[in-house]
Amino acid sequence: MTKTPRLLFTLVAGMLAAGTATAQDVIRIGAPLPMTGPLSPEAVKQQRGYDLWAELANKAGGVKVGGKRMKVEIVYVDYQSNTPRAVQAAEKLITQDKVNFLFSPFGSGAAKAASSVSEKYQVPTIAATASSAQVYDQGYKYLFGTFTPNDTLTEPLSDMVRKQAAGVQRVAILARNDLFPLAIAQEMEKSAKKRGMNVVYFEKYAIGTLDHASALSQIKSQAPHWIFATGYTNDLILMRKQMGDLKIEAHVVTMIAAPAYQEWIDGTGKLAENVTSAAWWHPAVRYKGKDVFGTTENYVKLYQAKYKAIPDYAEASASAAGAIFQLAIEKAGTIDRQMVRDAIASLNEMTFWGPVKFGPTGQINSLEPPVFQIQKGKPLVLHPQAIRQGALQLGIK
């Protein structure tokens, strides 16, 4: 069997129609993504977000760097949904492709693994899809993340269920054995127990699992009031369908993070109804920012015009990562890595993504993530109150 060759994708977004920018006029940002393999749906989202930002920045003439403007070039590498390859890709982007800055690979696990590379070479890196505290507790200075910690999702969700569904006492948790899905499941366990709920089941499933029937049957035997499952798009489409086949119901069914994606809603059909989730952003938020996108409404409009779809949090976070680099570079007035790193660390700006301020570990600490529920095939925001669109509906009355 021959090995699948590693694919190298290079995008120069929105270059001038006439003439070609010289190397010194270009800001190169490396983006290792799982373009093939089981995580490829997530890679598509990140690439769309990065491309939209780069295209808009270049359309405006480029990023302001001191007295001139520089175009943005994003260099993509496919690491085939394999974490060790993600680390290799990050090193290649820095040492061979000579990128100035880096976007992290997808997810907390790969972002943590690759962060040692960007730290080694002192390359400012922004993780657009890493929320687990374990990514940021390494004492690194060059890694920043656009997601708040996992408990900022499980705490408001648990508060809501406790207040609006007092009879929910028995909780079953099934988690993908991967850094982010497992970490947020563990936070859910803490949040539930803090509110006096009884966690009657907590198990992990292996990456690549193609049949959840055994675990789901065990969950059914525990008669839980709340089923909380974690994983990525393909995992949770399969799991929700198998729950339907086994006629498993609960007062509350929560899945993180896939229900935020239209692909998950389309893939599960009627089974998506009343599933709750939480994310770090929603098109319903209303921010007026100083970044290249300006308002949330403008970001959504631009995304819809380019991709004929409504953006979700993964796509918006990727665009926000680019916008943050742009704000920091323009603040620093240079692409010197140390100065840009310091500019990111000291940012305190409103963006279309929300208020951006990083804590001492490099993880953003200024957002209030929305909680939502799929109702009539659409995600409705339940929290925070300022952007609330509906009320929690129970699966079993």
Q: Which residues contact 65 (CB under 8 A, 6 or more apart)?
A: 27, 329, 330, 333, 334, 335
Residue ranges of E strands in 257-340: 275-278
pLDDT higher than threshold 80 for residue 180 = yes
pLDDT recorded at residue 396 = 73
| pLDDT top residue among 200 and 24 | 200
pLDDT band at residue 397 using 50, 70 and 90 as cut-offs: low
Q: Tens digits of per-residue pLDDT, 304-363?
A: 999 999 999 999 999 999 999 999 999 999 999 999 999 999 999 999 999 999 999 999
| pLDDT top residue among 222 and 21 | 222
Query: What average pLDDT does this structure show over 59-70?
Result: 95
103 residue type, one letter: F
Selecting from 3.40.50.2300, 2.60.40.10, 1.10.1740.10, 1.10.3720.10, what CATH number does the domain 151-279+370-387 have? 3.40.50.2300
- Asked whether this chain's domains 8-148+284-357 and 151-279+370-387 adopt the same fold, the reply is yes
pLDDT recorded at residue 337 = 98
Neighbours of 256 (CB within 10 A): 26
pLDDT recorded at residue 201 = 98
pLDDT recorded at residue 387 = 87
Q: What is the mean pLDDT of the chain?
A: 92
- Exposed, middle or buried, 49 (CB in 10 Å: 0-12/13-18/19+)? buried
CA–CA gap between residue 92 and residue 341 (Å, rounded)? 21
Give CA separation, 113 vs 85, 90, 95, 102, in Å: 10, 10, 17, 14
Query: What average pLDDT does this structure show over 165-183?
Result: 95
Q: Tens digits of per-residue pLDDT, 231-263?
A: 999 999 999 999 999 999 999 999 998 998 899
Residue ranges of E strands in the chain: 8-11, 26-33, 63-65, 68-78, 101-103, 125-127, 143-145, 170-176, 198-205, 226-230, 252-256, 275-278, 348-351, 354-357, 371-375, 378-383
Domain segments of the chain as ranges: 8-148+284-357, 151-279+370-387
Q: Tens digits of per-residue pLDDT, 85-117?
A: 999 999 999 999 999 999 999 999 999 999 999
**94: its two tokens:** 């820095």
* % of the chain at pLDDT higher than 90: 87
pLDDT recorded at residue 8 = 43
pLDDT recorded at residue 198 = 98
Topology of domain 8-148+284-357 in CATH is Rossmann fold (3.40.50)
Q: Which residues contact 18 (CB under 8 A, 6 or more apart)?
A: none
pLDDT recorded at residue 24 = 62
Neighbours of 39 (CB within 10 A): 24
CA–CA gap between residue 133 and residue 148 (Å, rounded)? 9
pLDDT recorded at residue 14 = 39
pLDDT higher than threshold 80 for residue 17 = no
pLDDT higher than threshold 50 for residue 187 = yes
CA–CA gap between residue 397 and residue 384 (Å, rounded)? 24
